[in-house]
């Protein structure tokens, strides 16, 4: 609830008139809790980390500025989702993401197997600067969204179906063949689509290096998209936030409520973890190697 919502609620239920300033002052009591959460130590290893950003309007020096709220969501070795942190900056850029990744490392993260990201330029390089062994998977959903952005309504369904043949292929070779067929069919009308997929090809085909059990987990950034949608429902109650800390407070409280529902691991995680233990035998923590594969 926004401070205005709380003010109206107290007035309606208890006939108590409380200023929004007082409500803000009371809620400031969680600021130290937010800071402790943001700086807490993290696990040393995450098989998958999803990275994304959403936009909020924040008042700064008398102006309303649309800022990016950076989010990092990790899937730990047990398959449970965990929000690793959130950060606020004016623009979403690879340079700032580099700072975020560096902070995760400073808080104890030593290894990430796969990072699932959007198509921001320089993003994969920023991740590999800090974690050179991490594989990068671009979000298929983002690619489809960008591809369909300038497609006419009458062609949208057919183009989407033809793109599906590319990312639903069973092998990289088949996928490349489907992309060539797509280009032959659509380049005369929408030449930028196949060009975009070709330019991002190296980080789009990462999923083909993994068995089906892992592909299902990295196929899209659905996990963080779901988190973003839940957070948007919370922040839509306030069109403009007075400052960065007000955003941090409300998102921290919302994340706490959202994480209570994450009682189960990611679907089919045991099967995925068995494959991770085999593929990353030399990297995965010994205790989990024993648990999932029976290795000595």
Token pair belonging to 162: 């033809």
Examine the pLDDT at 245 and tell me if it is beyond 60.
yes
Look at residue 35 in the predicted model and tell me its pLDDT: 92
Q: What is the DSSP letter of 44?
A: S
Tokens of 59: 């008042």
At 7-47, the pLDDT tens digits run 888 889 999 898 888 887 887 788 889 999 999 999 999 99
| Predicted local distance difference test score (pLDDT) of residue 223 | 72
The pLDDT of residue 292 is above 70: no
How confident is the model at residue 291, as a pLDDT?
Answer: 56
Mean pLDDT of all residues in 134-139 = 90
Range list of H helices, 187-243: 191-199, 201-204, 212-218, 222-235
Domain ranges of the chain: 3-33, 41-138+220-265, 140-208
pLDDT one-digit tens code per residue, 88-116: 988 767 888 999 999 999 999 999 999 98
User: pTM for the complete prediction?
Assistant: 0.84
Residue 167 clears pLDDT 70, i.e. is over it: yes
Q: Considering only residues 164 and 3, tell me which one the structure prediction assigns the higher pLDDT.
A: 164
SS3 percent helix, strand, coil of the chain, rounded to 5, is 55, 15, 25
Q: Which CATH architecture has domain 41-138+220-265?
A: 2-Layer Sandwich (3.30)
pLDDT of residue 296 exceeding 50? no
Query: Phi-psi category of 142—alpha, beta or left, where left has phi over 0 and alpha has psi -120 to 50?
Result: alpha
> Model confidence at 288, in pLDDT bands (50, 70, 90)?
low
Inter-axis angle of helices 172-186 and 191-199, to 10 degrees? 160
81: phi then psi, degrees, rounded to nearest 5: -80, 145
Q: Give how far Cα 132 sits from Cα of 119, 129, 277, 286, Å.
A: 19, 6, 19, 21
């Amino acid at each position: 609830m926004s401070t205005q919502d709380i003010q109206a609620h107290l007035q309606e239920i208890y006939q108590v008139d409380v200023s929004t300033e007082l409500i803000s002052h009371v809620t400031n009591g969680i600021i130290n809790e937010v800071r402790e959460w943001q700086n807490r130590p993290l696990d040393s290893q995450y098989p998958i980390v999803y990275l994304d950003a959403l936009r909020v309007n924040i008042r700064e020096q008398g102006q309303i500025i649309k800022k990016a709220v950076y989010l990092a969501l990790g899937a730990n070795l047990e398959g449970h989702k965990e929000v690793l942190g959130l950060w606020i900056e004016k623009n979403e850029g690879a340079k700032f993401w580099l700072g975020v990744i560096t902070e995760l490392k400073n808080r104890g993260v030593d290894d990430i197997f796969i990072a699932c990201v959007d198509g921001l330029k320089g993003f994969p390089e920023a991740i590999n600067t800090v974690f050179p062994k991490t594989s990068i998977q671009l979000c298929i959903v983002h690619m489809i969204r960008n591809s369909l952005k300038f497609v006419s309504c009458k062609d949208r369904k057919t183009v989407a179906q033809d793109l599906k043949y590319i990312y639903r292929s069973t092998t990289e070779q088949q996928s490349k063949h489907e992309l060539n067929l797509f280009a032959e069919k659509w380049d005369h009308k929408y030449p930028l689509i196949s060009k975009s997929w070709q330019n991002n090809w190296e980080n789009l085909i990462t999923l083909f290096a993994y068995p089906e059990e892992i592909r299902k987990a990295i196929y899209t950034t659905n996990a963080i998209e779901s988190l973003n949608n839940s957070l948007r429902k919370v922040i839509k109650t306030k069109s403009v936030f007075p400052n960065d800390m007000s955003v941090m407070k409300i998102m921290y409280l919302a994340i706490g409520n959202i994480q209570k529902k994450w009682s189960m691991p990611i679907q089919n995680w045991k099967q995925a973890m068995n494959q991770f233990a085999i593929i990353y035998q030399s990297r995965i923590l010994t205790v989990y190697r024993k648990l999932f594969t029976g290795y000595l």
